């Protein structure tokens, strides 16, 4: 049967089957069915949470290694203890030290982590991004006076297998909400939608195709815009596919987790775009970075810092996979430029909102301009390592002014 397909399609199909996404989806589907079946026998919430803790840690052990699962478990419990145990000032210092260690350890031990298996480095890179965000949220929420979570529930909130790998990001206190009845049909329908998106990506985009962006500066203005729009479509299909699977698996387990995408192409200005794109990260940045900084009291500064934190979060994720030797400070310019451009776009959204509020054709124009602005900003975000900032600025300038 495979012989009847074009060789390139076969190669791309095999690549899809080798991805961490595929292993996670298959394993997650099996574990979700176990939760669904167990929920029919274990009626009490504590029993279901205990089952989910065991299965979530098992998923980390299978996809990575038992040692990695144990290390993340120890970290989560130590962090909980640092936040909860007196004395308070010392506990705060201990919690911050643990968060710092979580940042540094996957980078320092990148080679050792890679020795655990072909997906271990990627697994640790993704999960530690999510775990760090959840732990920071718990630390701030406890300082705001929110209730203490039991250590088992905190561990579950950190390691919950449908969302631990790549989100959506939830604050641990979201797990205080009661569980719903597991929705097998609705959940797997959402999983199927996500898988379909990733299959489309695998069939239409070659492995490593974004590396060609390094040479896009030699192409014409229309082709540069084609690059930006294609990056937008590819990233949306890829990331929303991951999110669909995670949300669907959570539904099978009896949880409704936040949506990550809300038709971002309908956004009328950059601020609305970031309320529709990677929604769970946007909410986390608002609640645990922007608001603690003072929110609108110093809006220009705080918007800039918030996007800088977002850029740092993405840089950290890349360094954990590629290493500082390949993705050192010389390669961070693209993310930082992306943050600057989007911060300026969000700050300009106030006047833009007043303009398109009149409705009519202005709404369509605003949506088209916002879509193109987002596509324009994806150029530096996906800038390949080794491509200079000067080259990137040249590409962005030519997209806006093709006559130079």
Burial degree of 2 (CB within 10 A; 0-12, 13-18, 19+): exposed
In a domain, 70, yes or no: yes
| Distances in whole angstroms, Cα of residue 10 to Cα of each of 6, 199, 312 | 6, 12, 37
Residue 312 belongs to domain spanning: 262-400
The answer to whether position 75 is within a domain reads yes
What the block records as the tokens of 329 is 């400070």
pLDDT given at position 16: 87
End-of-domain residue from the set 176, 208, 237: 176
Task: Kindly report, residue by residue over 271-309, the tens digit of the pLDDT.
Answer: 999 999 999 999 999 999 999 999 989 999 999 999 999
Cβ pair 269, 356 in contact under 8 A? yes
* Same-domain pairing of 171 and 273: no
125 domain residue, yes or no: yes
Task: Supply 172's token pair.
Answer: 């641990």
Same domain assignment for residues 46 and 157: yes
59 closest CA partner among 89, 98, 24: 24
Kindly tell me if the per-residue pLDDT of 31 is higher than 80.
Answer: yes
**Domain contains 257:** no
Which of 175, 105, 107 is closest to 138 using CA atoms?
175
Q: Is residue 190 part of a domain?
A: no
Is 121 among the domain residues?
yes
pLDDT value at 4 more than 80: no
With residue 164 as reference, give the H or E element that holds it: none
Retrieve residue 85's tokens: 């145990």
Q: Which two tokens stand for residue 121?
A: 């480095």
Residues 270 and 154 in one domain: no
91-120 pLDDT, tens digit per residue, is 889 999 999 999 999 999 999 999 998 899
Across 281-304, b (16+ Cβ under 10 Å) vs e yields bbbbbeebbbeebeeeeeeeebbb
Residue 337 located in a structural domain = yes
Q: So what's the pLDDT on residue 11?
A: 83
179 close to 48: Cβ distance less than 8 angstroms:
yes
First to last CA, the chain: 52
> Is 90 exceeded by the pLDDT of residue 176?
no
- What's the total number of domains in the chain? 2
Q: Is residue 162 domain-shared with residue 292, that is, in the same domain?
A: no
User: By C-alpha distance, which of 179, 176, 157, 178 is closest to 168?
Assistant: 157
Positive or negative: CA dihedral 53, 56, 58, 64: negative
Quick one: the chain helix, strand, coil %, rounded to 5? Answer: 75, 0, 20
Last residue of a domain, one of 159, 176, 193: 176
Question: Do 293 and 392 reside in the same domain of the chain?
Answer: yes
Final residue before a domain boundary, out of 176, 195, 220:
176
pLDDT per residue over 184-240, tens digit each? 999 999 999 999 999 999 989 988 899 999 888 888 999 999 999 999 999 999 999
Q: What is the pLDDT of residue 90?
A: 83
What are the structure tokens assigned to 278, written together? Answer: 């990677």
Query: What pLDDT was estimated at residue 353?
Result: 80
Express each pLDDT in 328-364 by its tens digit: 998 999 999 999 999 999 999 988 888 877 778 999 9
Looking at the structure, do residues 278 and 395 belong to the same domain, yes or no? yes
> What's the whole-number mean pLDDT along residues 373-384?
97
329: in domain? yes
Average pLDDT over residues 113-136: 95
User: What pLDDT was estimated at residue 217?
Assistant: 81
């Amino acid at each position: 049967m495979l012989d009847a397909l074009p060789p390139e399609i076969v190669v791309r199909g095999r690549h899809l089957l080798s991805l961490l996404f595929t292993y996670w989806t298959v394993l997650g589907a099996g574990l979700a069915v176990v939760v669904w079946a167990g929920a029919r026998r274990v009626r009490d919430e504590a029993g279901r949470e205990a089952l989910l803790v065991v299965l979530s840690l098992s998923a980390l052990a299978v996809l990575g290694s038992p040692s990695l699962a144990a290390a993340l478990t120890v970290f989560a419990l130590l962090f909980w203890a640092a936040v909860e145990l007196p004395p308070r000032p010392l506990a705060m210092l201990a919690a911050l030290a643990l968060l710092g260690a979580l940042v540094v350890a996957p980078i320092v031990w990148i080679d050792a982590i890679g020795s655990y298996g072909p997906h271990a480095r990627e697994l640790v890179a993704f999960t530690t991004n999510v775990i760090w965000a959840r732990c920071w949220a718990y630390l701030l929420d406890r300082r705001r006076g929110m209730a203490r979570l039991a250590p088992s529930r905190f561990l579950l909130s950190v390691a919950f297998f449908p969302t631990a790998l790549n989100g959506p990001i939830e604050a641990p206190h979201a797990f205080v909400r009661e569980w719903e009845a597991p929705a097998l049909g609705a959940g797997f329908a959402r999983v199927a939608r996500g898988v379909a998106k990733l299959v489309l990506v695998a069939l239409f985009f070659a492995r490593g195709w974004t590396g060609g962006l390094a040479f896009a500066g030699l192409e014409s203005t229309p082709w540069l815009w084609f690059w930006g729009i294609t990056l937008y479509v590819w990233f949306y299909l890829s990331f929303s596919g991951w999110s669909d699977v995670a949300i669907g698996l959570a539904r099978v387990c009896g949880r409704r987790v936040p949506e990550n995408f809300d038709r971002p192409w309908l956004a009328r200005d950059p601020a609305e775009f970031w309320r529709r794109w990677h929604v769970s990260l946007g909410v986390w940045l608002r609640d645990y970075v922007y608001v603690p900084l003072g929110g609108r009291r110093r809006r220009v500064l705080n918007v800039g810092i918030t996007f800088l934190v977002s850029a740092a979060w993405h840089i950290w994720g890349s360094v954990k996979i590629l290493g500082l030797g390949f993705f050192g400070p010389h390669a961070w310019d693209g993310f930082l430029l992306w943050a600057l451009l989007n911060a300026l776009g969000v700050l300009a959204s106030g006047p833009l909102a007043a303009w398109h509020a009149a409705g009519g054709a202005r709404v369509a124009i605003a949506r088209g301009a916002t879509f193109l602005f987002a596509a324009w900003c994806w150029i530096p975000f996906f800038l390949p390592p080794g491509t200079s900032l000067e080259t990137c600025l040249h590409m962005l300038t030519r997209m806006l002014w093709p006559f130079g």
